[in-house]
Structure 1
Amino acid sequence: MDQDFSVTGTVDGDHVTVMVSGEVDMATADALFAAATPSAATAATVDLRAVTFFDSAAIHALIRLAEHYRDRFTVLPSSRVLRVLEISGLGGQPWLTRDAGGGAA
């Protein structure tokens, strides 16, 4: 696993909040998915505002999470993550939150 990568999931009732930092790529995307899918959770927020690199494996992890949680899924992107999602055609997804704190506009 990448030394610059960190993922922490915190469950509160049926909601998991996942904080991610560093590079999310082929070596780390499965850890992101695992942290975001504890058995007790039926809703998730994934905070990617500290992510510095985001590749196709990371995109796939988000798509899997969106399918898993349906309408109870939120992503807070960094500006880099937002750019990758926009280029890949996912910039308009309802689970993608654009707020001033996340660098998304």
Structure 2
Amino acid sequence: MAGDVDMATADTMYAAAATPSGVARLTLDLRAVTFFDSAAIHALVRLAGAYGDALAVLPSSQVRRVLDISGLGDQPWLEA
């Protein structure tokens, strides 16, 4: 993902990440994301619920800040 992940694009992010069948592990690369809102957080939490320990998220500094502020900065799926 790159650019903004917001109410207009969060469902697209979710659908793209949730659709691969037979995937044992998912790495969601958000290092090029510059804006991340509550709709994006919701989509990410849904993905975490679907993949559990098989999810790894690579955040940009902006995504990391939003997740820290929202109380999700210590999730096991969030890479350093």
- TM-score, with normalisation over the residues of structure 2? 0.95
Structure 2 match to 1:11? none
Residue identity (%)? 67
Structure 2 match to 1:31? 12
Structure 1 match to 2:39? 57
Residue-by-residue CA offset, 1:52-83 (whole Å, 9 max, x unaligned)? 10000000011000000011000000000000
1:43 is displaced (CA, Å) by 1.8
In structure 1, C-alpha distance between the alignment counterparts of 2:24 and 2:64, rounded to whole Å: 24
Residue-by-residue CA offset, 1:35-64 (whole Å, 9 max, x unaligned)? 111223232100000001000000001100
Pair 1:72 & 2:62 matched? no
Greater share of helix residues, 1 or 2? 2
Pairwise CA RMSD: 0.8
Query: What secondary structure does 1:71 align onto?
Result: helix
Could you tell me which amino acid in structure 2 is paired with residue 72 of structure 1?
A
Could you tell me which amino acid in structure 2 is paired with residue 44 of structure 1?
L
Structure 2 match to 1:95? 77
1:43 aligns with one of 9, 25, 50: 25
Could you tell me which amino acid in structure 2 is paired with residue 26 of structure 1?
M
Q: Quick check: which has more Rg, 1 or 2?
A: 1
- TM-score, with normalisation over the residues of structure 1? 0.73
In structure 1, C-alpha distance between the alignment counterparts of 2:22 and 2:7, rounded to whole Å: 26
Query: What secondary structure does 2:28 align onto?
Result: strand
Segments of 5+ residues of structure 2 without an aligned counterpart are none
Larger relative CO (CA 8 A, sep 6+): 1 or 2?
2
Matched residue count = 79
